[in-house]
Amino acid sequence: MVLWRILRTSATRSQAGALLPWDHRCNSITMRYYSAKAGAKSSQKPQKKSGAKKPGDESGPGAAAELDRGVIDEKALRSRLLAEDEKNPSLNVGPNGRPLFTSTPTLSQLTRRDACSYFKFSKKGLNAVLPEGLPKGMVAEFEDSMRESLIVRKSFLDLRDNFRRIVDPPLDGKGIKARKQIVLDGPLSCGKSITLAMLVHWARDEGWLVFYAPRGWEWTHGGYFYKNPHTGLWDTPLQAENILKDFLKYNESQLKQLHCHIFDPILLGEGAGVGWMKGIDSMPVPEGSSLFDLAQIGIQHSHAAVGVVVRLRKELSLVKDVPVLFAIDQYNSWFTFSEYEEPMTLHSTRPVHAKEVATVNAFRSMMHNDMMVGAFSHSTAVGKLRQDLPDVPVDARVNLPRYNVDEAATVCHYYLRQRLINPEAFSEVMWKTVYCVCNGNGSEMRSLLPLIQ
């Protein structure tokens, strides 16, 4: 009944055609054209074209262009009004009169009192601290709300404090035991990737060395793949080169100050599309090389890229001068089959499991003493995995919840502040109805709230 009222009201407004500054329908209305399959025939007889345009007929490229102009105009109007709203602090009010935004300047200084309030980021700062890329959910939130702010959730504070206790344990030795290896699990759109990205942001603000892989799925899909006879694993040189480049984007200055501890030659594999190097099966690591120098070897020599990534994992375990954190998003894609297939006979192939890919094999295990967080992602369509994962501690999995009632209240007031919601229709009954319909799914709430009249 509720959804029927939402859709009926949305259709009525669509016919009226009036776009108000708070109206967000234009962000979700997109003209998409699909071409029919070749050779497909219509069951209806062709009709003669009429030179005169029928009343009310607004289809065609002209109508699409007019809609696009309307979308641009509405966004520009909303952006201008939001800029004016910034001059009025009285609008920054959350549920029960609480401040909507926290005044705490850094993620490190956030306390439990800041939960259920919004933390302000800057686009420039996020791109500088997370140059590997932002999660899709975070980008969608910023684009729809037209503001770089995220709600402070208790799940993030718990995760941050867990790793803080590892580096700075309490003097009395009391308190909850910290875990070095954690797997973030939970239902669709509960904020796993965003929580992981915020943790990486905090750790880098603290000066930690963080190996952040925001797209773990790409490690097992695309590019060239070869079976290395020396290791029995599958080499993916293009992915390995990209892994090294991403790692240097933020950590270059730190890596130049950290020296290698292992100087064994790097075993070579096949290069990306160029085969084996003739007469050379290894590449030396010069004495006194830094971790930056090691990464450069893999970037400059495609044959050594995979070997360097594997060696880098071992080297990072030996770093003692600075805390090291491994943060892997889409971690569940490493426990299923990759895109690759191994020919078995002339007419059959065998799917290659992710654990058989050399780079994944080097980073997947959590059976070590290093700090590591892996976040599951439903966007990879991996499916449900068993509770006890191989090479993962039994107590490592942490289930993140969707929005609770208090968080949903803050989120809805924030969207009202950002002109995503019609102020005339906003009420406690309205937002609680949407919250129940969406079962706390943040993405669905963000899509449905602007439709309420």
83-121 pLDDT, tens per residue? 999 999 999 999 999 999 999 999 999 999 999 999 999
154 Cβ neighbours under 8 A, 6+ residues apart:
112, 115
> What average pLDDT does the segment 326-354 reach?
95
Alpha helices, DSSP H, located in 177-261: 192-205, 237-257
Q: Using 50, 70 and 90 to split pLDDT, how confident is the model at 68?
A: low
* Whether the Cβ atoms of residue 323 and residue 371 lie closer than 8 Å to each other: yes
Q: Are strands 371-375 and 324-329 parallel, antiparallel or unpaired?
A: parallel
Least confident residue range of 31-35, 134-138, 212-216, 317-321: 31-35
pLDDT the model gives residue 51:
46
Cα angle: 61, vertex 65, 69; to 5 degrees? 170
SS3 of 172, please?
coil
Give the separation between CA 262 and CA 132, rounded to whole angstroms. 27
294 Cβ neighbours under 8 A, 6+ residues apart:
260, 285, 308, 311, 312, 315
For the CA atoms of 17, 21, 27, 30, the dihedral, rounded to the nearest 10 degrees, stands at 20
- Least Cα distance to 309 among 260, 241, 375 occurs for 241
pLDDT the model gives residue 171:
72
pLDDT the model gives residue 140:
94
Does residue 10 register a pLDDT over 60?
A: no
Give the separation between CA 304 and CA 269, rounded to whole angstroms. 7
Does residue 12 register a pLDDT over 70?
A: no
> What average pLDDT does the segment 383-402 reach?
90
> What average pLDDT does the segment 261-267 reach?
95
* Whether the Cβ atoms of residue 419 and residue 21 lie closer than 8 Å to each other: yes
Share of the chain above pLDDT 90, in %: 73
> What average pLDDT does the segment 263-276 reach?
91
pLDDT the model gives residue 62:
61
Give the separation between CA 416 and CA 407, rounded to whole angstroms. 14
> What average pLDDT does the segment 389-414 reach?
95
Q: Using 50, 70 and 90 to split pLDDT, how confident is the model at 452?
A: confident
Type of residue at 74: E
119 Cβ neighbours under 8 A, 6+ residues apart:
101, 102, 104, 107, 110, 149, 150, 151, 152
Question: Per residue in 348-357, pLDDT tens?
Answer: 999 999 999 9
